[in-house]
Structure 1
Amino acid sequence: MFSEIGQLIFDNEAVAKTQDFTMGLEIEMQRVDENGELSKEPYPAGVGDERTNPWVTNDFLETMSEVVTPPAAHALDAMHYLFGINNALRTALAPGELLWPLSMPPKLPQDKQSLLLAKMGPKKEAYLKEWLKRHGFAEGTPCGTHINLSIDPRVFEMVYPHLKERFKNRTELENYMYTKIAQGFMRYRWLITYLFGASPIAEVNYFEHDEGPANPIRSVRQSSYGFGTKFVGDYTNVQRYVDRIEQGAKEGTLISDYEFHGAVRFKGSGKLVDLPQSGVKYLELRMLDLDPSSSVGVRTNTLRFIRLMASYFIMTPALHEEEVSRVLARADQMNEEVATESPDDMCKYQTNARAMLASLERYANQIQLGPEYQEELEDLEDRVENPKTTPSARLTAHIKNGSLSEYALKRAKRYQNSALQTIRPFRGFESQEKLSASDLKNQLFKGNWDPDTDK
C-alpha cells in the first residue's frame, strides 16, 4: 500500500508527522441586508482597511468579505481562529447587515453595473475590470472555503537523506511531494463534490436566458456552471504546472498567471515562474462549497477529512507522469457528472466512493488516528449509501419557489445574533494597524485559547 516514501516514513515511525499539516483557511461570504439582497453599506470600518488588513479583506465585489486565518498546526486551532475573526467581522457589520451562508450569491440586481468591485489597489482593480469584461459580474460572485496546507518540514528532514540519489536537492523532493498531494485531490475532487457539495441552485439573475440547470444539482459552484475561468491546469509536475499557466497568459487565454483558479493551486514565496527553483511552500485547495450548517462556512470534521486525504496521498504511490494527464482529464469529467447529478440520486460513482472511503478507513486504522476520524468516516460512508443525507440534498428540502433565500436568511440571522452576544467583541482591527499573526493571536484569544502555531 505504501510508496517508497511512505514506507520510509512508516519505518521511521514518523507517520504522525504526515498529519501535522500547517493549515490556514480563507472563507468568502457576501454581505447582505435583511431582505436577502447584496448590501449597499460601505465596507465595515470596524475591521480596518480592506486593502491592508490581512485577516479580513474582500474579493471581487465590495460586498464579498473574506476572512483569512494565520497558519495553525491543528484543525481545531484553525477553527478557533476562524470563529474569532468571523465574529469580529460580524460585530463590525452595520445594523441589519448579515453574512450570506451559501456559496451561490443572493438574488442579484437586474442591472449588475450597479455592483461595486472590491477596493484592492490600482493593479488588482485593473485586473478585476478586465476579468469583468471577459466573464461578467455573476461568475465572480460564488463564495467558497479555501484550505491552505503545508507539509510539516520534519517530514522532508527525515525523508531527504534517504533519497539523495533520486532527488538532486531538497526543493525537488518538496515539489514532488506537494505534486503527489495535488494530483490526489484533483483525482478525487468528484468525491469531495459528492460529500460536501452544497450549492444546488442559483438565485434570481445569476443566470441569464435560462442558461442554468433546469433542476437542482449537487453543486452549481463546482460544475461547469460555476466560477469564471475554465482553464485546465497541468499537474504532471511543478515545472509543467508553471509552463501551462505561463503559456495561457502569453496566449491571452488568461489575463495573467493570477487568473488561474484551479481546484488546487501550488503556492510559493515569490513569482510563479520561479516556483520550480524556489519551491512550493503550500497548496491551496479550492473545491469546498460553504457549509451553511456552520456559522463559519466549514466544519472541523471536514478539515480533519481533508487532512486525512492529504496524509494518505503522501503515503501512497503517485501516478506515473505519463498517466497524469489522462487520469485527471477523466477525473474532471467525473466531477462534472457528480456535480450535475440530482442531489437525491445515488451517485453514479458510488462503488468508487465506497472503495476510496474504505481505503482511507484502513489507513486511519493502520496509523491509529483515533475515534474522531473513525466517526467522521462512518458519517461520510452513510452519505455515500444515503444521498439524501448529503448537504446539497438537505438544502433542497428548504427550496421555496425556486429559492433558498428564506432558509439562508434564517441561518444568517441566527449566526449574527450569536455573534452579537459576544461578551468581549474583538476591536483590534479598528486601529488600522496591520496586526501580525502573533499580535492577532494574543489579542484575539486573551488567554482563553492557545492555538498551536509552532512546529
Structure 2
Amino acid sequence: MNSFNTLIEQLSDSEGRAALQGMQRGIEREALRISDSGQLATDAHPRELGAALTHSRITTDYSESLLEFITPVFSDIDALLEDLTYTHAFTVQNLEQQGLWPVSMPCYVGDVNDIPIAQYGSSNSGQMKRLYRKGLTYRYGAQMQIISGVHFNFSVSQPLWDKLYLLSDQQGSKTDFISESYLGLIRNYRRMVWVLPYLFGASPALCSSFIKDQQTDIEFEKMGKGTLYLPYATSLRMSDLGYTNKEQDRLSISYDSLDKFLEGMQNAINMPSSNFEKIGVKVDGEFRQLNANVLQIENEFYSPIRAKRVALDGEKPSQALARAGVEYIEVRALDVNPYSAIGIEASQVRFLDMFLLYCLLSDSPLSDEDQEAEIASNLNRVILEGRKPGLELSNNGTSVTLTDWMKQMFSSLSSIAELLDSEGENHYRQTLDTWLAAVNDPDLTLSGKVMSHLLQSQIDHGYWVKSLAKQYHKDLSEYQLPDQVVARYRQAALDSLSKQAKMEADSSQSFEAFLEDYFRDEASSKPIPKAAISS
C-alpha cells in the first residue's frame, strides 16, 4: 500500500483535492427532555413531534425522555449544522416549558424506576423495539441507558474511491476495496480513538445522584453539595460508569476484514450468557428481554465506531454489510458539547474530517491481542486522566507522551488541511490551530474548560448545566424558523403518525411468531420491517 505521504502527494492536484473535499456527513444527537426545574421529564413523547417509531429526524433512544435528532446526509458543514439547529428549534418550540439537557451525563434523576422506557405503539416492530430496551433495563439498569452522546456518520466521495482504487494494487473488486479500506480506517481509529475524548470529552464531572448505589472503583473527588469529579478526567461517559457490557469482554470481534467482522458478529449474537439467562426471557407470561444471548441484537454491541450500510427493508445491519459492503462509518465516541446548543460545532466536524481521512490514508496493520490490550489501556488512561501533565501512553509497546504523539499526528493533519481548504479559505488550518492549542494547554480542551469553570466558580455541576439548559432553551425558543421549515416538520410529524397507525392496523401476526421469524436463520427468515431493526 502507498504510504500516507505518497498518497497525499498523489491527491494534491485539483482533481484529488475535489475528491477529498466531497465528504458526506450526518449527525445523530441525543438529548434528555427535562422539566423547567431541571428534573427528568417522565411524560410521553410529545405528539407534536410525531411518532418516534417512524419519524426520520426526531425519534427516541432508550427512554421516552431521551430524544434523538437525526440529520440527513450533507456535503456542506454549514448546511448540516443548520439542519440540526432547525430540528432543535422546532422541538423546543413544541415542548412548552420543557427543555433539553445540554451535557452527556444525566442529573436530577429520582427513582430510576420512574425512567420511562420508550414506547413505539402496538405494532410488532414497535413492541420489539420496546422489548429490546426493556432487556437493556434488566441487563444494565435504566440509569446507564439515559447517558447522551453525539454520533457522527462519515463517508468519502466516490471520486476519491475511484482514485484510491487506481492507486492500489487492484487485486479485488472496487466494492471489496472500499470495504477493506473502511476496515483499515476503523483499525487506525481504534488505535487513536483516545484523541477524541482528550479534545472533545466534556464529562470530567457529574452529579453524585447519578452514582446512587452503583459500585465503582473510581476514586472521585467531591466539591459543592453534590459534584463528583476527577481532576484530569476527560469523558466519564466513556468510563465504566457509561455504556459498558462486561459480558462483551469475551467476544472476539475482528476488524481485520469484513468477513472476519461478520463472522464475529454472527457468533456474538448467538452466544448464550449464563448471567442473562438468570433474568429469564419470558417470566410469568411477560417478556423481559428478546433472548438470553450476550447480544439481544447487533445494536447492543458497544463499540466507539461502527461499519455501516443503509439497510434495505427487512435487512439486519450485518446482512446489509454482507450484501454490498461498507458504505459509511459511525463515530460513537463523542460527548455532547456543552458549549453548543446543538451539542457539536463546526470546528469539531472539521477536525473529525481530517482525523478520519488520516485514519483512512495511513497504513493500517492488523492487530493482535497485545495491541488490543494496548488500545484499551490507552483509551482508559485518557478517559480518566487525559489532562494529567506528562501523561504517557503506549505506541506499539513504546512509551510516548500524549502531547508528543498528538503533535506527530497534527503534523500529518496539516497536510490534509492544506488539501481540504478551498482557495482563499483556511477553515481547516484554523481548526488545527484551535485544537493544537488544546494539545499544548489541556485547559483549552472541552473537559478542561468544564473543570476550570466549576472549580473557579465553585458551582455544582448540576446547577451549571441547568443554567446552560435555560439559556439554550431561550435561544432556541426565539430562533426564527422559516415558515416552509415549520410546515415541513409539521407535515413530517403527521406523516409519521399516519405511518405508525397503518403499521398497527396491518399487524396480524402474533408477536411471538414475529420474534421467531426475526431470529430464524437468515436463509429462511421472512423480511422484517426496517423500523424493527433500527435502534
Establish whether TM, by shorter chain, passes 0.5: yes
Q: Answer yes or no: is the 8 Å Cα contact 1:101–1:411 preserved in 2.
A: yes
Tell me the distance in 1 between the aligned counterparts of 2:35 and 2:61. 18
Tell me the distance in 2 between the aligned counterparts of 1:7 and 1:360. 14
Cross-structure match for 2:107: 106
| Deviation, structure 1 residue 94 | 2.4
SS of alignment partner, residue 113 of structure 1: helix
How far does the alpha carbon of each residue in 1:25-47 deviate from its partner, in whole angstroms, 9 at most, with x for none?
00000011122210133322222
Cross-structure match for 2:298: 257
SS of alignment partner, residue 430 of structure 1: helix
Cross-structure match for 1:65: 67
| Deviation, structure 1 residue 293 | 0.3
Evaluate the alpha carbon distance shift between residue 21 and residue 324 of structure 1 in structure 2; reply closer, same or farther with a 3 A threshold.
Answer: farther
1:104-183 to 2 correspondence within 5 Å?
104-109=105-110, 111-120=111-120, 121-161=126-166, 163=168, 165-167=170-172, 169-183=173-187
SS of alignment partner, residue 65 of structure 1: strand
2:427 matched to 1:422?
Answer: no
Q: Answer yes or no: is the 8 Å Cα contact 1:347–1:384 preserved in 2.
A: no
How far does the alpha carbon of each residue in 1:141-184 deviate from its partner, in whole angstroms, 9 at most, with x for none?
110110011221122233435657411x2210110121122122
Q: How many residues align?
A: 430
Which residue identity is paired with 1:191? V
SS of alignment partner, residue 43 of structure 2: coil
Larger mean CA deviation between 299-308 and 407-416 belongs to 407-416
Q: Answer yes or no: is the 8 Å Cα contact 1:344–1:388 preserved in 2.
A: no
| Deviation, structure 1 residue 118 | 0.9
1:14-413 to 2 correspondence within 5 Å?
14-95=16-97, 97-109=98-110, 111-120=111-120, 121-161=126-166, 163=168, 165-167=170-172, 169-209=173-213, 211-212=215-216, 213=218, 214-215=220-221, 216=229, 217-229=233-245, 231=248, 233-251=253-271, 252-268=293-309, 269=311, 270-274=315-319, 275-319=321-365, 321=366, 323=367, 326-341=370-385, 343=387, 345=389, 347-348=391-392, 349-365=402-418, 370-396=425-451, 397-398=453-454, 403-413=460-470
Evaluate the alpha carbon distance shift between residue 312 and residue 324 of structure 1 in structure 2; reply closer, same or farther with a 3 A threshold.
Answer: farther
Evaluate the alpha carbon distance shift between residue 257 and residue 149 of structure 1 in structure 2; reply closer, same or farther with a 3 A threshold.
Answer: same
Tell me the distance in 2 between the aligned counterparts of 1:139 and 1:146. 17
How far does the alpha carbon of each residue in 1:76-109 deviate from its partner, in whole angstroms, 9 at most, with x for none?
22111111111111111122x1100000012221
| Deviation, structure 1 residue 296 | 0.2
The answer for unaligned runs of 5 or more in structure 2 is: 121-125, 222-228, 272-292, 393-401, 497-535
How far does the alpha carbon of each residue in 1:47-100 deviate from its partner, in whole angstroms, 9 at most, with x for none?
2112211100010011001110000002222111111111111111122x1100
Evaluate the alpha carbon distance shift between residue 99 and residue 427 of structure 1 in structure 2; reply closer, same or farther with a 3 A threshold.
Answer: farther
| Deviation, structure 1 residue 344 | 6.3
Percent identity between the aligned chains?
A: 22
The answer for unaligned runs of 5 or more in structure 1 is: 436-455
1:1-12 to 2 correspondence within 5 Å?
1-2=3-4, 9-10=11-12
Tell me the distance in 1 between the aligned counterparts of 2:469 and 2:192. 31
Tell me the distance in 1 between the aligned counterparts of 2:463 and 2:6. 53
Evaluate the alpha carbon distance shift between residue 293 and residue 11 of structure 1 in structure 2; reply closer, same or farther with a 3 A threshold.
Answer: closer
Cross-structure match for 2:518: none
Tell me the distance in 2 between the aligned counterparts of 1:189 and 1:99. 28
SS of alignment partner, residue 248 of structure 1: helix
Evaluate the alpha carbon distance shift between residue 79 and residue 423 of structure 1 in structure 2; reply closer, same or farther with a 3 A threshold.
Answer: closer
**Max radius of gyration: which structure?**
2
Tell me the distance in 2 between the aligned counterparts of 1:235 and 1:301. 29
Which residue identity is paired with 1:31? R
How far does the alpha carbon of each residue in 1:160-216 deviate from its partner, in whole angstroms, 9 at most, with x for none?
35657411x221011012112212221111011101100112323322336343132
Which residue identity is paired with 1:408? V
| Deviation, structure 1 residue 260 | 1.3
Larger mean CA deviation between 139-148 and 183-192 belongs to 183-192
Evaluate the alpha carbon distance shift between residue 107 and residue 243 of structure 1 in structure 2; reply closer, same or farther with a 3 A threshold.
Answer: farther
Evaluate the alpha carbon distance shift between residue 160 and residue 359 of structure 1 in structure 2; reply closer, same or farther with a 3 A threshold.
Answer: closer
How far does the alpha carbon of each residue in 1:93-132 deviate from its partner, in whole angstroms, 9 at most, with x for none?
122x1100000012221x2112110123111111111111
Tell me the distance in 1 between the aligned counterparts of 2:390 and 2:468. 28
TM-score (norm 2): 0.75
Evaluate the alpha carbon distance shift between residue 389 and residue 347 of structure 1 in structure 2; reply closer, same or farther with a 3 A threshold.
Answer: farther
| Deviation, structure 1 residue 360 | 1.1
Tell me the distance in 1 between the aligned counterparts of 2:385 and 2:269. 33
Q: Answer yes or no: is the 8 Å Cα contact 2:42–2:116 preserved in 1.
A: no
Tell me the distance in 1 between the aligned counterparts of 2:99 and 2:136. 27
Q: Answer yes or no: is the 8 Å Cα contact 1:140–1:228 preserved in 2.
A: no
Tell me the distance in 1 between the aligned counterparts of 2:342 and 2:66. 14
TM-score (norm 1): 0.87
| Deviation, structure 1 residue 6 | 5.8
Tell me the distance in 2 between the aligned counterparts of 1:75 and 1:434. 28
SS of alignment partner, residue 166 of structure 1: coil
Tell me the distance in 1 between the aligned counterparts of 2:74 and 2:468. 28
| Deviation, structure 1 residue 405 | 1.3
Tell me the distance in 2 between the aligned counterparts of 1:245 and 1:403. 42
Tell me the distance in 1 between the aligned counterparts of 2:420 and 2:477. 42
Aligned Cα RMSD in Å?
2.5
Larger mean CA deviation between 56-65 and 170-179 belongs to 170-179
Q: Answer yes or no: is the 8 Å Cα contact 2:306–2:330 preserved in 1.
A: yes
SS of alignment partner, residue 429 of structure 1: helix
Tell me the distance in 1 between the aligned counterparts of 2:332 and 2:95. 26
Tell me the distance in 1 between the aligned counterparts of 2:369 and 2:322. 19
